[in-house]
Amino acid sequence: MNDVYKKKVELLLRILPFVTDEECFAIHGGTAINLFVKNLNRLSVDIDVTYLPLEDRATSLKYINEALMRIADKTKRSFSDIRVISRLDICKITCERQGCQVKIEVNQTKRGLVCGEARLYPLCEKAQRLFGMEVDARIVSLSQLYGGKIPAALSRQHPRDLFDVKQMDIPLSEVKDGIIYCLLGSDRPIHESFSPNFIDQREAMENQFVGMSDIPFSYEEFEMTRNKLIKGVNDIMTEADKRFLVSYEELTVNREESPYSMFFDFPSVKWKIQNLQKLKTTNPRKLKAEANKLRLILGIE
C-alpha cells in the first residue's frame, strides 16, 4: 500500500472520532466498507456521511452544517498545523495537514436510514495494527451501505467501487432493497444502471487506485466484475420489481400498492419524483422515451 495514501488514512482516523461524536451522522461509502465492515481490503481517504433524521430540507441543512462546524472546531483544536476549509453551501469540510487532505461530505439529498438501524463498528483489526489506533464509526445498515455502493459502481464505474463490489461477501439479493432505494433517488435515469455505457477506466485505475490495496485487481478483473455486476443486478429483479421501476419512471406508479412504498417519504425519492413531474410538464416525450428504454432493457411488454 502506498505511503501517501497511508498518511491520509492516518489523518482520517484521527478526525473520524469527531464525526462519530455527532449522533445525527453515520458514514457510508468506501471508508465504512474497507476500514470497518471489511478488514482493510483497500485504503480509503474520504468520509462520506449520511444525515440520519428525517426533517424538512431547511432544518436538515441547518443541523448538518452546525454539526460540521463542531467537527471543524474540534479538528482545529486538536491539530495546531491543520487547515480546515468549510463549504457549508455543499455541506462539506476539507482538512489539510502536512500535504494530506481528507474530505468530510454529507449527502444533502439522501437523508435518513433505510433497511435497518445504524450501528457502531470498531476499526478493523488490520487497520488497528497498521495505524496503532482504536476508533469506532457509526455506519448505515449493510443494505443501505452496499445498496449505495452498487449503483455508484454502475454509474461511475470507478475501479475503487468495482473493487469493493468484487470483495463483497453478501449476495446481491440481500441488499436489493438498498439498491432499489438508491435507484429511486438517483439523479440519473434508472435504465443507465441496468445497461450502462462502458467507460474506459485504465487511467483512473493507474492514477486513482494503484497503491490503495495489496490485493491484486487487474483491468481484466475490473471488466469482468463490471459485467458480472450488471448481470447480477438485472437477475435479482423480479417481474414485480421491473414493472414497479417502469411505472415509477413514467409516473404511473400506485404508491399504496407498491412493494417499496416505505421509500416514498424519503427526501431523495421525493426529489426524484418532483424532477420527473417537471420533466413530464416540460418535455413529456423525453419522460416517455426514458421509461421506454427501461421497459425495453428489463423486457417488460
Q: Please report, for the chain, the start and end positions of each structural domain, with discontinuous segments joined by +.
A: 3-140, 145-298
Closest listed residue to residue 151, CA positions, set 190, 112, 193: 193
Kindly report the CATH number that applies to the domain delimited by 3-140: 3.30.460
- Intra-chain end-to-end CA distance of the chain, in Å: 50
Strands 100-106 vs 46-51: parallel, antiparallel or unpaired: parallel
3-state DSSP call for residue 211? coil
265, three cell numbers: 417519504
Per the structure block, which three cell numbers stand in for 69?
462546524
pLDDT for the residue 67: 98
pLDDT for res 256: 87
Locate cell 435497518: which residue? 116
What pLDDT score does 2 carry? 86
Per-residue confidence (pLDDT) for residue 216, from 0 to 100 = 96
Confidence (pLDDT) at 1: 81
* Contacts for 274 with CB less than 8 Å, ≥ 6 apart: none
Half-sphere exposure of 265 (CA within 13 A, CB side): 9
Outline where DSSP puts E strands in 109-159: 119-122, 136-139
Amino acid in the structure at residue 99: G
Nearest to 13, CA basis, from 113, 129, 148, 161: 129
Q: CA–CA separation, 80 vs 187, rounded Å?
A: 40
Cβ pair 29, 46 in contact under 8 A = yes
- pTM of the full predicted structure? 0.94
Tens of each residue's pLDDT in the chain, 301 residues: 888 899 999 999 999 999 999 999 999 999 999 999 999 999 999 999 999 999 999 999 999 999 999 999 999 999 999 999 999 999 999 999 999 999 999 999 999 999 999 999 999 999 999 999 999 999 999 999 999 999 999 999 999 999 999 999 999 999 999 999 999 999 999 999 999 999 999 999 999 999 999 999 999 999 999 999 999 999 999 999 999 999 999 999 998 888 899 999 999 999 999 999 999 999 999 999 999 999 999 999 7
Q: Are 106 and 182 in contact (CB under 8 A)?
A: no
Number of other residues whose CB lies within 10 A of the CB of residue 59: 10
Please give the pLDDT value at position 301: 79
Residue 41, pLDDT score: 97
